Structure 1
């Protein structure tokens, strides 16, 4: 019998069926050891990261800066660090 990572994660309550197909597919290639690690961390993560988890359970609908009238395109400094947008001389 082959190991089914998705079924093991469903049994542990990590996958609930509301995940995107990409997430479900990514979890499907995990090894038995990786699944065991995720299951063992399941109870520890809420204690270590309560604020992050509170937001990840539906509390984030938009970046906080957009709620303060910043343009979403101005929130990323990727172009500054990568040199994108520089004119070729």
Structure 2
């Protein structure tokens, strides 16, 4: 029987029935070692990153909120200052 990382992750509770198909497909190419790592992290993450997991609702990741910033790249670029080619005044 061939190794199926998605089934292993489902059995371990890492993937659930509500996981989107495109996310499950991304896990299809994992090696056994990578799959084992994800399974072992499942129980460790809440202890290591409690503030992250507190915002994940029922333990499932939600779509992250994105905050857009309007930046004037030319005004905020300090390329000359970092490279030493300019004064950095611009």
* Cα distance, 1:60 vs structure 2: 7.4
Alignment RMSD (CA, Å): 2.9
Distance 1:60 1:22, change over 3 A: closer
Aligned length: 72
The structure whose residues are more often helix, as a share, is 1
Task: Provide the residue aligned with 1:74 in structure 2.
Answer: 69
Distance 1:28 1:80, change over 3 A: same
**What TM-score, normalized to structure 2?**
0.64
* Structure 2 gap segments, 5+ residues each: 78-90
**What TM-score, normalized to structure 1?**
0.65
Quick check: which has more Rg, 1 or 2? Answer: 2
Distance, in Å, in 1 between the alignment partners of 2:69 and 2:55 is 22
